Chains A and B, each alone.
Chain A
Amino acid sequence: MITGSAETVFIVWAYAGVGLVTLALIGAVWLAARRVRRRLAALEAQGIRRRSAA
């Protein structure tokens, strides 16, 4: 278990930085997926479908 030491600040920054960037990456991937699903749904709502799906 972590004990208080002069190096604790580096450990906290490392975990906080990696955690934040990893969460941002997950968020970016999820947002991109949602955006393209909405775009596809909007196109299909206009009656535009793939020929193979017609």
Chain B
Amino acid sequence: MTIDSAAPKPNWFSRLAHPGNFMGWSRPVLWPLGIATALLFGLGLWFALFNSPADYQMGETVRIMYVHVPNAWLSQFVYGAMFVAALGTLVWRHPLADVAQKAAAPLGATFTALALFSGALWGRPTWGTFWEWDGRMTSTLVLLFIYLGIIALWRAFDDPLRAGRIVAVVTLVGALDIPVIKLSVDWWNTLHQPESILTASGPKMPGSILTPLFVMMAAFTLLFLLLQLVSMRTEILKRRAETLSRQAAARPA
């Protein structure tokens, strides 16, 4: 038996996520993903603005939900993806894990900022205020600061491997905020409405409102996947360019 045949074979995920393989399979995916995202946004906006009813309590302002909820969902989903990537960095030392983490942080920060912005604009006509220091809003603001801290940390180190490990630890610690956001409406009396989609008894909304909401959530989620793939490719190429620059600097004149 040779050493090669005795070595464990990489599984499909490891092969797929190898930086070289990733650059190969991700490129042809970008255009179809972009087209699917644009189509879903077109359909979702048509539903949201022209083909959905006003709410019996909130009136027309319910339409803000179709941009607020997808961004709020992504603010937590992106952090969940970064949490898995942080485990990939620290536990499995996966070569793409820190690339995925670094690419996702600015996207997550933007979606979180948009959730806060659209939430404030929804809050003014429904609650009478743009902002209230209640559990859901404050914990979401804390999430934005965690994202910004992670982005700043990435920029503080020249060595991406060292930065990746430190950011991974901070990401794991920062994940404590996610259950706080999720459960804040149950733990504290807040202005924010309680869970109305993922409940034990099913969604508390009619289909005419759920349909545009799910289409917009799918559109924003595909947009995140598209931007994540492009950003990961950019980060891999950036590291390749930095290696080449070092190679050039070391070359005899």
CA distance A3 to B238 in the complex (A): 49
CA distance A17 to B234 in the complex (A): 27
Chain B residues within 8 Å of A6, by CB: 125
Size class of B's contact patch? 35 or more
CA distance A9 to B71 in the complex (A): 20
| CB pair B223 A10 closer than 8 Å | no
Residue among A15, A21, A43 making CB contact with B241, cutoff 8 Å: A43
| CB pair B248 A30 closer than 8 Å | no
For B113, the closest partner residue in chain A by CB is A21
For B51, the closest partner residue in chain A by CB is A1
| CB pair A50 B63 closer than 8 Å | no
Residue among B68, B110, B121, B244 making CB contact with A13, cutoff 8 Å: B121
Chain A residues within 8 Å of B61, by CB: 7, 10-11
B49 sits at the interface (CB 8 A): yes
Chain A residues within 8 Å of B233, by CB: 33
23 residue pairs from A and B, CB less than 8 Å apart: A1-B50, A2-B63, A5-B59, A5-B60, A6-B125, A10-B61, A11-B64, A14-B117, A14-B118, A15-B49, A17-B114, A18-B114, A18-B118, A21-B117, A22-B114, A22-B223, A25-B107, A30-B230, A32-B234, A36-B237, A43-B245, A46-B248, A50-B247
